[in-house]
Amino acid sequence: MNTPTNRRSLERGEIDTFNHVASGVLGRVRLVKTNILPPAADGMTIGRFVFLRGDRIQDRSTTLLAHELVHVRQFAELGVMKFLIAYLGAYVKNLYSLRNHHAAYLAIPLEVEARREAARWAQQQRNGGRDGATVDGASH
């Protein structure tokens, strides 16, 4: 029987691949397939639960997952309440000053950090796992 997976843990290989987050944190992660997410979002993280749209739960080693896993680490460090207060507080403050949902979302410090760390991780993957040695201006 081949039932579709709607929920899974990270596999050993993924825990090794996503080396930008501590393996102790990754071991607790649960990926959950959902079709109920804010428009334009492919993923959303609450605590150790990473909600992914459609079949993205089957994707391995994507920058999307790398990004969401940074949020899992942030949740682990701050606790759920502190994360949500920091996240939503920054969003509301940004919305007040920027008057634009997308700009306000992008400027949330927890999002800035997740994008930066996921980009660094993706760059490292392209470099064959070697750290550092980023090439600015490289197109691929």
Check binding of 108 to Zn ion (CB under 5 A): no
The Cβ of residue 54 has, within 10 Å, a number of other Cβ atoms equal to 12
Smallest distance from the beta carbon of 64 to Zn ion, in angstroms?
9
How many angstroms separate the CA atoms of 23 and 60, rounded? 16
Check binding of 104 to Zn ion (CB under 5 A): no
**Token output for 57:** 């739960």
Smallest distance from the beta carbon of 92 to Zn ion, in angstroms?
17
- Options 5-13, 99-107, 114-122, 125-133: segment touching Zn ion (CB under 5 A): 114-122
Q: How far is CA 56 from CA 8, 21, 71, 120, in A?
A: 12, 20, 17, 21
Nearer to Zn ion, 14 or 42 (CB): 42
Smallest distance from the beta carbon of 133 to Zn ion, in angstroms?
26
Q: How far is CA 106 from CA 2, 77, 88, 100, 109, in A?
A: 39, 21, 12, 10, 8
Smallest distance from the beta carbon of 4 to Zn ion, in angstroms?
26
- Options 10-18, 84-92, 113-121, 132-140: segment touching Zn ion (CB under 5 A): 113-121
Smallest distance from the beta carbon of 71 to Zn ion, in angstroms?
6
Check binding of 114 to Zn ion (CB under 5 A): yes
Residue 81 CA to chain centroid, in angstroms? 18
Nearer to Zn ion, 103 or 130 (CB): 103
User: Got the DSSP string for 79-105?
Assistant: -HHHHHHHHHHHHHHHHHHH--HHHHH
Interacting residues toward Zn ion by CB under 5 A: 111, 114
